[in-house]
């Protein structure tokens, strides 16, 4: 009741996209062109459009916007910039969709995610982060909210490229806009055919395979120990200082002994993190570096699996000892 008296019974503020900080540095006429182009091709929060598919049925996109407002906006923000009301206190920060970079994909390093990658993150969440599982959402909800996330992502990428065009050319010629839109969409279309399959069949999980993985982990060739530490706990000096990701936030290599892998703990998930790296972070792709030793990827997977529950196991053993 007190809250109602304070805020009154007026209509809630209208949802609005927040422009990038760089846009505000441009002359007003260029800012106006960017606003107009974004509204024309990407719509508004209440009347969104999917870039390049403006004539497609809007019902599902509107449904996705509603799911997003209910489930996602508090962390990812209305604009999809990862600056929702709760974002400030989160580590790692919620995803900023505007650069079109997604960490956990089944595609090569630097490529866009496949639609199934986004669906998997929505359904399973990212373990060890604030991103929960939305497994209880219906398939319709998941597909719709993915459409809306893509709409925000494409909008953010278009805004960035229009801003760069304005900065470099001191204008945004109307005839350039279709090319810029193609520049945004082409990598997304290509991602559908860029699925990374393991280059060799997974060998059996044996002590020999684990030992081979440990040797590789500690070798200069793979160099995993440099960030994750010789024991996998990621307590190296450089890692404790932290690295900077492409979004400008502090990040660290994972403690592999925690058993919490943001991108999933299935053997295939771990394989792709080693093979393709993690977009936007210091974790590189090892596909080229270890190309002449295809089984080594799996040996590393087995070693990471072997040490992945060590910290939790140690706590359980300690608790059991205290009960005796």
The answer to whether the CB of 19 falls within 8 A of the CB of 78 is no
Tell me the whole-structure pTM to 2 decimals.
Answer: 0.88
What b/e readout covers 247-282, taking b as 16+ CB neighbours within 10 angstroms?
beeebbbbbbbbbbbbbbeebebbbbbbbbbbbbbb
pLDDT of residue 91: 86
Report how many helices (DSSP H) and strands (DSSP E) the chain contains, helices first. Answer: 13, 2
User: Cα 75–124–290 angle (5° rounding)?
Assistant: 105
- In 3D space, the residue among 162, 167, 155 whose CA is nearest the CA of residue 180 turns out to be 162
The pLDDT-based confidence of 3 (bands split at 50, 70, 90) is very low
Query: Given a cut of 50, is residue 6 above it in pLDDT?
Result: no
**Cβ contacts of 51 within 8 Å, gap of 6 or more:** 41, 42, 151, 154, 155, 158, 181, 184, 185
Give the DSSP per-residue string, 196-240: ---SSPPPP--HHHHHHHHHHHTSTTT-THHHH-TTSS---HHHH
* Distance (Å, whole) CA 248 – CA 56: 35
Query: Given a cut of 70, is residue 1 above it in pLDDT?
Result: no
Q: Count the Cβ atoms, other than its own, within 10 Å of residue 60.
A: 17
Average pLDDT over residues 206-218: 97
pLDDT of residue 29: 97
């Amino acid at each position: 009741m007190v809250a109602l008296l304070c805020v009154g019974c007026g209509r809630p503020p209208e949802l609005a996209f927040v422009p990038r900080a760089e846009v505000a540095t441009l002359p007003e006429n260029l800012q106006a062109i960017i606003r107009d182009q974004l509204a024309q091709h990407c719509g508004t929060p209440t009347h969104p459009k999917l870039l390049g598919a403006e004539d497609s049925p809007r019902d599902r996109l509107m449904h996705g916007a509603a799911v997003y407002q209910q489930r996602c906006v508090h962390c990812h923000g209305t604009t999809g910039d990862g600056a929702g009301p709760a974002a400030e206190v989160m580590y790692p920060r919620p995803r900023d969709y505007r650069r079109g970079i997604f960490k956990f994909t089944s595609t090569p390093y630097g490529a866009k995610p496949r639609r199934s990658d986004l669906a998997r993150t929505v359904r399973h969440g990212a373990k060890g982060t604030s991103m929960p599982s939305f497994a209880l959402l219906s398939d319709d909800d998941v597909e719709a909210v993915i459409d809306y996330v893509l709409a925000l992502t494409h909008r953010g990428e278009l805004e960035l490229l229009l801003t760069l065009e304005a900065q470099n050319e001191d204008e945004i010629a109307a005839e350039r806009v279709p090319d810029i839109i193609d520049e945004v969409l082409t990598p997304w279309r290509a991602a559908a055919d860029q699925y990374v399959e393991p280059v060799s069949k997974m060998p059996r999980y044996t002590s020999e395979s684990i030992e081979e993985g440990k040797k590789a982990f500690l070798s200069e060739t793979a160099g995993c120990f440099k960030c994750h530490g010789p024991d996998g706990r990621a307590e190296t000096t450089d890692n404790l200082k932290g690295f900077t990701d492409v979004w400008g936030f502090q990040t660290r290599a994972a403690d592999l002994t925690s058993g919490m892998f943001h991108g999933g703990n299935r053997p295939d998930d771990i394989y792709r993190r080693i093979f393709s790296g993690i977009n936007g972070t210091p974790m590189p792709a090892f596909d080229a570096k270890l190309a002449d030793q295809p089984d080594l990827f799996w040996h590393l997977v087995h070693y990471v699996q072997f040490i992945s529950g060590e910290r939790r196991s140690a706590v359980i053993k300690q608790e059991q000892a205290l009960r005796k």
